[in-house]
Structure 1
Amino acid sequence: MKTLIDCKKACRVKVLKLNAKDDLKQRLISFGIMKASILEVLEHSPGKSTVEIKVGKMRIALRAQEAQLIEVEKI
């Protein structure tokens, strides 16, 4: 399954599933990252240690470990 960290810059994706534990899952949901939400990958840091995404009008930086827990499909 493709995860958010696998997406290239300027890629738009739809969230299929969050594989995070309770605390992290609630944090992601509070940012608007939940099943069926649309995300846009804006930038990767050198070495892909973080990924910057856009959710609605909000920009969020996620650690690579967090982005690997978000299953997505390209739209």
Structure 2
Amino acid sequence: MKKLSDCKKACKVKILKLHADSELKQRFISFGIMKEVVVEVLEHSPAKSTIEIKVGKMRIALRSKEAELIEVEDI
């Protein structure tokens, strides 16, 4: 199982599943982070504590712990 947190910079992946509790899952969905959506990893913070992704035209920063809850596959 590949997680979003495992992806390198400039990696494009498709979301397979969100392994988050219902509250966090709703927050992800409100940002467009949901099953079958393609996201691009833009940047990792120097300490790898956050990851910046692109969903559609929106840029979103996630904590690494949140990115670990998103199962993805390469496209």
**For each residue in 1:19-41, what CA deviation from the matched residue of structure 2 results, as whole angstroms up to 9, or x when unmatched?**
00011000000000000000000
Two-structure CA RMSD over aligned residues (Å):
0.4
2: CA distance between counterparts of 1:32 and 1:17? Answer: 13
2:71 counterpart SS class: strand
Q: Normalized per residue, which structure has more helix? A: 1
1: CA distance between counterparts of 2:13 and 2:57? Answer: 15
2:59 counterpart SS class: strand
**For each residue in 1:12-58, what CA deviation from the matched residue of structure 2 results, as whole angstroms up to 9, or x when unmatched?**
00000000001100000000000000000000001210000000000
Question: Normalization by structure 2: what TM-score?
Answer: 0.98
Moved over 2 A (4+): none
Structure 2 residue 64 is matched with structure 1 residue 59: no
1:48 counterpart SS class: coil
1:60 counterpart SS class: strand
Question: Normalization by structure 1: what TM-score?
Answer: 0.98
Letter in 2 for 1:2: K
Structure-2 residue corresponding to 1:36: 36
Unaligned runs of 5+ in 1: none
Q: Count matched residues.
A: 75
